[in-house]
Chains A and B, each alone.
Chain A
Amino acid sequence: MDQYYYLDAGNQQQGPVDAGELTKCGVTAQTMVWKQGMSAWQTAGSVSELNWIFPPAAATPPPPPPIRAQTPPPVNGSVPPPADFAPVKPDNMLVWSILATVLCCVPSGIVAIVYANKVNNLWLVKDFTGAHKAAQNAKIWCFVSLGLGILAFIIALIGGFLGAILDS
Chain B
Amino acid sequence: MAFLYLVNPEHSSWVPKCYFHFFTGLQCPACGSQRAIHSMLHLDVASAMAFNPFLVVSLPYLLSLMAVTWFDDKGKMEKLRHFCQHTCTIRIYLVLILLWWVIRNLM
Contact = CB atoms under 8 A, between A and B. Distances in A.
Q: Do A and B come from one complex?
A: yes
Interface of A: 92, 94-95, 98-99, 101-107, 109-110, 113-114, 116-117, 120-121, 124, 148-149, 151-153, 155-157, 159-160, 163-164
Contacts of A98: 62, 65, 93
Contact of B30 (A92, A101, A156): A101
A117 B87 contact: yes
Given A94-B65, A120-B87, A103 B94 contact: no
Contacts of B85: 92, 94, 120
Given A104-B34, A117-B90, A156 B14 contact: yes
A61 to B, nearest CB: 23
Nearest to B29: A106
Contacts of A102: 30, 33, 55, 62
B28 A104 contact: yes
11 contacts: A101-B29, A105-B19, A106-B20, A107-B20, A109-B30, A113-B93, A113-B97, A120-B90, A121-B87, A152-B18, A159-B13
Interface string B48-92: 000000010000001001100110000000000000111100110
B30 A114 contact: no
B40 interface: no
B41 interface: no
A149 B19 CA distance: 8
A84 B23 CA distance: 43
B15 interface: yes
A163 to B, nearest CB: 6
Given A101-B30, A113-B90, A124-B87, 14 more contacts: A94-B69, A95-B65, A95-B66, A103-B33, A106-B20, A113-B94, A113-B97, A117-B94, A151-B19, A152-B19, A152-B22, A153-B16, A155-B19, A156-B15
B17 interface: yes
B45 interface: no
Contacts of B16: 103-104, 149, 152-153, 156
Contacts of A104: 16-20, 28, 30-31, 33-34
